[in-house]
Structures are given as C-alpha cells and as structure tokens.
Amino acid sequence: MFYSIDRLEGEWAVLIADETGQQLQIPRADLPPEAGEGSLLRCENGSYIYDAEATARRRREFFERTRNLSKK
C-alpha cells in the first residue's frame, strides 16, 4: 500500500493511505530524509520507504491532468 505525505506539521507528518483515504500521523523523524510533501511511501516491516519512481509518475500524471484542464 502507498501513503502520500499530505503535509508536515512541526514534528509530525500527516500521511494519506491511497487505498482507503485513511489519514495517519507519524513522527517526522520516521520519514526517509529525501521524502517531502507529495512524496509516495511504502510501508515495509514498520518502516516507510520513499518510492521515487511512483512519486515521479504521480507528479507527471497530475501535471498532465492539470495541463489538459487548462486547454479547455
């Protein structure tokens, strides 16, 4: 399951589960150093792992959707 980093609030990160939409807070220190708002993470064995490929793909898809909307 993927989690997206919705926002960072002080010492906390708010994640959204892609499949369920469930929101959870984790300590910001538990995030991989390269992850930031909008990054996609996988949870494996209790650790969050930054998925650069999935993050880039999601950002491209978002860019394409917004670009297509501006053409209408």
CATH number at residue 9: 2.40.50
DSSP code at position 10: T
User: Smallest Cα–Cα separation from 8: which of 31, 47, 49, 20?
Assistant: 31
pLDDT for 70 equals: 74
- Position 72 confidence tier, pLDDT thresholds 50, 70, 90: low
Tell me the average pLDDT across 45-57.
95
**Range of the structural domain that residue 50 is part of:** 2-71
pLDDT for 1 equals: 84
How would DSSP label each residue in 22-71?
A: -EEEEEGGGS-TT--TT-EEEEETTEEEE-HHHHHHHHHHHHHHHHHHHH
Which residue did the predictor score with more confidence, 29 or 1? Answer: 29
> With 80 as the cut, is the pLDDT of residue 7 above it?
yes
The number of folded domains in the chain is 1
